[in-house]
């Protein structure tokens, strides 16, 4: 049965198809079309199995059934009606032609699908505000605005180009009319011009589907910029005292209106033009010369410093230092020069270089490091400048006590012992001690202590003191035991021991005999001379009085040979003969003690302290010159 059913179905299908081919239908229907304004639009419509009336509608409005479409001068229908072709033509296309179009077979009741006709309107050439020459200022951010007006369809795209290269940094803005249609569009280019942009050409292009190649509008940039300054000095390297010429050159738009010169920030009075002449000195090394150039847009300046050659100049002297023994010490001195001076450190009076550079460091100093240190700068290339600066290093240490020479003393006579103390810091006390006790200052029994300033110590030992121990009426124990002179400060104590030497009286018997013999000889000589010269001069008597006289022991006429200024050497002793001698270097003090003349010419006589007695003296000088009193 299935085999019989299939042929029957095929026959029915063939019959139905043949009937369908004979009913009206669309062989080709219109489609959406895009046409440029002013061009021709063609909407196709082809019907099959239809011989009746065909018409077109525009937005539902019938255009008519005639082929030339009366009333629509730019519209017509073309094609072979017998073959069913009814194409709609519009030329030239205008904006009002944009609508929905349908092809209708009215007698068959057929309608084609609607076809939208789109009209494209090419954009007009854009406009750049401020063009065709736009004036800008270099370095100042600027906005360039390009506008496109009119009924361009679709809305055009605005692009910026320079030398054929598209520029970034733009924004796009669209203005709409009240009816919702496009009014205008604009594009803004944001950029900061530089001096290289002067005279450059920028292009704004309006481009759309209606005009893919676009329409261009070009502008030229005219840039104003503040002066671009170059400053030079001739010569750039110059010895101090030589002449230098500065030249200030500038390019500017608009032109330069003025120059201003300054040195180290202070205006150079009287300098107005592009040239400045000066005499170089050391200040130009640290105080640059600047040139400021101005125009209507702004100003710019440049500066340059000269390479001035000059010898070393002392800026900061080293400061004296006082440190404790074992500590570190350092000195600093600053020299200025160009080129940079070579600085060395030496000890005063020495040639050994201890350090190079502005700083001298001494580690763990000792007393031997005390003294003066010299900071020396060598002269510059031109042989100018240079010199030395000196500072003292004081090393604080325990006192150094030294015994000074003390003259021998007679038993029961006065004596004086001296010690020299150097100490930094100053001693807190200087103490004399002996077997019987000690004394720091003032008096105690037979002893008296006085302290005086001394000449400054060598090598930075610090201030010195001389301490004197006076003894009135020496005793045997003073010669047998020693005396200690000690001093102390916060760092320790130092001291020394001093022994008092004894001086004995001269032997009496041999001296008396010798003096008597000498006196006798002198008297005989005087007598002979006096007798010989008596008749020739009255001055013989005067001459005899000036000669030395000798008192012979046992002489009864003592009063005739004693002077009014004669003093005794002791009490309770028999007066011996008096001999006038020529020992003018012997002096007797107020207490009757015998002392020798100071061989140092008073070097140690400080504030009334008597000079030390020479240990080599073997005789004693009396207050009345030339008189020696024998016991």
HEC profile for 579-628?
A: EECCCCCEEECCCCCEEECCCCCCCCCCCCCCCCCCCCCCCCECCCCCEE
Instruction: Please provide residue 528's backbone torsions phi and psi, each rounded to the nearest 5 degrees.
Output: -65, -45
What integer pLDDT is reported at residue 303 of this predicted model?
Answer: 94
What is the average per-residue pLDDT within 382-403? 86
Q: Which two tokens stand for residue 164?
A: 């054929």
- Can you tell me whether residue 6 is helix, strand or coil? helix
Give the integer Cα–Cα distance in Å for 397 and 402.
15
pLDDT band of residue 139 (cuts 50, 70, 90) is: confident
Lowest mean pLDDT among 69-83, 240-254, 426-440, 558-572: 558-572
203 neighbors 162 (Cβ within 8 angstroms)? yes
pLDDT band of residue 436 (cuts 50, 70, 90) is: confident
Cross-strand partners of 375: 345, 389
- Taking alpha carbons only, the member of 269, 312, 266, 309 closest to residue 287 is 266
The pLDDT of residue 517 is above 90: no
439 neighbors 431 (Cβ within 8 angstroms)? yes
pLDDT band of residue 563 (cuts 50, 70, 90) is: very low
What integer pLDDT is reported at residue 600 of this predicted model?
Answer: 34
The better pLDDT of the pair 522, 567 is held by 522
What integer pLDDT is reported at residue 543 of this predicted model?
Answer: 34
Give the integer Cα–Cα distance in Å for 561 and 583.
18
Give the integer Cα–Cα distance in Å for 597 and 616.
11
pLDDT band of residue 534 (cuts 50, 70, 90) is: low
What is the average per-residue pLDDT within 215-230? 92
Q: Which two tokens stand for residue 458?
A: 């060598």
Other CB atoms closer than 10 Å to residue 354's CB: what's the count?
A: 14
Mean pLDDT, all residues of the chain: 79
434 neighbors 482 (Cβ within 8 angstroms)? yes
Q: What residue has token string 């059934």?
A: 65
The pLDDT of residue 511 is above 90: no
Q: Which two tokens stand for residue 13?
A: 């299908």
The pLDDT of residue 272 is above 90: no
What integer pLDDT is reported at residue 589 of this predicted model?
Answer: 37
Give the integer Cα–Cα distance in Å for 554 and 584.
27
What is the average per-residue pLDDT within 412-425? 91
The better pLDDT of the pair 571, 168 is held by 168
In this structure, what is the dihedral angle of CA atoms 409, 415, 420, 423, given to the nearest 10 degrees? 150
What is the average per-residue pLDDT within 136-160? 87
Q: Is 559 exposed, middle or buried (0-12, 13-18, 19+ CB in 10 A)?
A: exposed
110 neighbors 26 (Cβ within 8 angstroms)? yes
Buried b (16+ CB within 10 A) or exposed e, 276-314: bebebebebbebbbbbbbbbebbbbbbbbebebbbbbbb
What integer pLDDT is reported at residue 65 of this predicted model?
Answer: 83
Residue range 41-89, pLDDT digits in tens: 999 999 998 988 999 999 999 998 899 999 899 999 999 988 999 999 9
- Taking alpha carbons only, the member of 560, 541, 565, 564 closest to residue 550 is 560
- How far from 439 is each of 55, 243, 400, 500, CA to CA, in Å? 154, 76, 19, 17
Residue range 149-194, pLDDT digits in tens: 877 888 888 999 999 899 887 776 766 544 445 567 888 999 888 8
Buried b (16+ CB within 10 A) or exposed e, 199-238: eeebbbbbbbebbeebbebebebebbbbbebebebeeeeb
Stated as kind and residue range, the H or E segment containing 28 is strand 25-28
The pTM of this model reads 0.45
- Taking alpha carbons only, the member of 193, 148, 153 closest to residue 172 is 148
The pLDDT of residue 447 is above 90: yes
What percentage of residues in the chain have a pLDDT greater than 70?
74
Instruction: Please provide residue 162's backbone torsions phi and psi, each rounded to the nearest 5 degrees.
Output: -140, 120
Instruction: Please provide residue 285's backbone torsions phi and psi, each rounded to the nearest 5 degrees.
Output: -70, -35
Q: In what order do the strands lie in the sheet with 289-294?
A: 266-267, 258-263, 289-294, 299-304
What integer pLDDT is reported at residue 612 of this predicted model?
Answer: 40
The pLDDT of residue 21 is above 70: no
- Taking alpha carbons only, the member of 32, 42, 151 closest to residue 91 is 42
Give the integer Cα–Cα distance in Å for 467 and 453.
9
What integer pLDDT is reported at residue 354 of this predicted model?
Answer: 93
Residue ranges of E strands in 474-608: 483-489, 492-498, 578-580, 586-588, 594-596
- Taking alpha carbons only, the member of 233, 225, 174 closest to residue 198 is 225
What integer pLDDT is reported at residue 12 of this predicted model?
Answer: 53
422 neighbors 466 (Cβ within 8 angstroms)? no
Q: Which two tokens stand for residue 206?
A: 């309006």
What integer pLDDT is reported at residue 51 of this predicted model?
Answer: 87
What integer pLDDT is reported at residue 18 of this predicted model?
Answer: 45
pLDDT band of residue 378 (cuts 50, 70, 90) is: confident
């Amino acid at each position: 049965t299935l085999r019989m059913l299939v042929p029957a179905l095929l026959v029915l299908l063939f019959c139905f198809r043949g009937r369908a081919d004979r009913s009206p239908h669309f062989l080709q229907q219109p489609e959406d079309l895009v046409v440029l304004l002013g061009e021709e639009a063609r909407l196709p419509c082809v019907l099959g199995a239809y011989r009746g009336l065909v018409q077109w509608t525009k937005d539902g409005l019938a255009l008519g059934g005639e082929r030339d479409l009366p009333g629509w001068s730019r519209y017509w229908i073309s094609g072979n009606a017998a073959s069913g072709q009814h194409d709609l033509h519009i030329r030239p296309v205008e904006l009002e032609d944009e609508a929905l179009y349908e092809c209708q077979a009215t007698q068959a009741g057929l309608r084609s699908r609607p076809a939208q006709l789109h009209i494209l309107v090419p954009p007009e050439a854009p406009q750049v505000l401020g063009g065709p020459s736009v004036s800008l200022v270099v370095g100042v951010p600027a906005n360039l605005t390009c506008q496109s007006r009119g009924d361009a369809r679709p809305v055009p795209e605005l692009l910026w180009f320079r030398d054929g290269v598209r520029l970034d940094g733009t924004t796009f803005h669209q203005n709409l009319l009240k009816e919702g249609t496009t009014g205008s569009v604009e594009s803004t280019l944001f950029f900061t011009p530089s001096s290289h942009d002067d005279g450059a050409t920028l292009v704004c292009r309006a481009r759309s589907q209606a005009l893919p190649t676009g329409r261009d509008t070009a502008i030229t940039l005219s840039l104003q910029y503040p002066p671009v300054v170059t400053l030079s000095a001739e010569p750039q390297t110059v010895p101090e005292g030589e002449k230098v010429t500065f030249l200030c050159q500038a390019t500017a738009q608009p032109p330069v209106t003025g120059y201003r010169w300054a040195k180290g920030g202070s205006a150079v009075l009287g300098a107005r033009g592009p040239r400045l002449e000066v005499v170089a000195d050391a200040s130009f090394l640290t105080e640059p010369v600047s040139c400021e150039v101005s125009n209507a847009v702004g100003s710019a300046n440049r500066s340059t410093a000269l390479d001035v050659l000059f010898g070393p100049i002392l800026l900061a002297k080293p400061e004296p230092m006082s440190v404790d023994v074992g500590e570190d010490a350092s000195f600093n001195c600053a020299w200025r020069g160009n080129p940079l001076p070579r600085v060395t450190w030496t000890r005063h009076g020495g040639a050994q270089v201890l350090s190079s550079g502005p700083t001298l460091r001494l580690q763990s100093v000792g007393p031997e490091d005390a003294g003066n240190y010299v900071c020396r700068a060598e002269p510059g290339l031109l042989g100018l400048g240079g010199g030395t600066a000196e500072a003292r290093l004081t090393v604080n240490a325990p006192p150094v006590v030294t015994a000074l020479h003390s003259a021998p003393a007679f038993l029961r006579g006065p004596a004086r012992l001296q010690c020299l103390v150097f100490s930094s810091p100053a001693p807190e006390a200087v103490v004399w001690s002996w077997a019987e006790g000690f004394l720091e200052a003032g008096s105690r029994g037979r002893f008296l202590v006085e302290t005086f300033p001394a000449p400054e110590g060598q090598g930075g030992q610090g201030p010195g003191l001389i301490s004197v121990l006076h003894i009135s009426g020496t005793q045997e124990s003073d010669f047998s035991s020693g005396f200690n002179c000690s001093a102390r400060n916060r760092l320790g104590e130092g001291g020394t021991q001093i022994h008092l030497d004894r001086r004995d009286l001269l032997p009496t018997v041999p001296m008396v005999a010798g003096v008597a013999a000498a006196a006798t000889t002198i008297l005989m000589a005087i007598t002979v001379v006096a007798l010989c010269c008596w008749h020739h001069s009255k001055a013989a008597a005067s001459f005899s009085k000036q000669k030395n006289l000798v008192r012979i022991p046992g002489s009864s006429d003592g009063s005739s040979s004693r002077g009014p200024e004669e003093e005794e050497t002791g009490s309770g002793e028999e007066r011996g003969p008096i001999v006038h001698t020529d020992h003018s270097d012997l002096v007797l003090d107020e207490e009757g003690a015998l002392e020798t003349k100071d061989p140092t010419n008073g070097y140690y006589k400080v504030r009334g302290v008597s000079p030390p007695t020479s240990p080599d003296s073997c005789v004693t000088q009396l207050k009345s010159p030339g008189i020696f009193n024998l016991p």
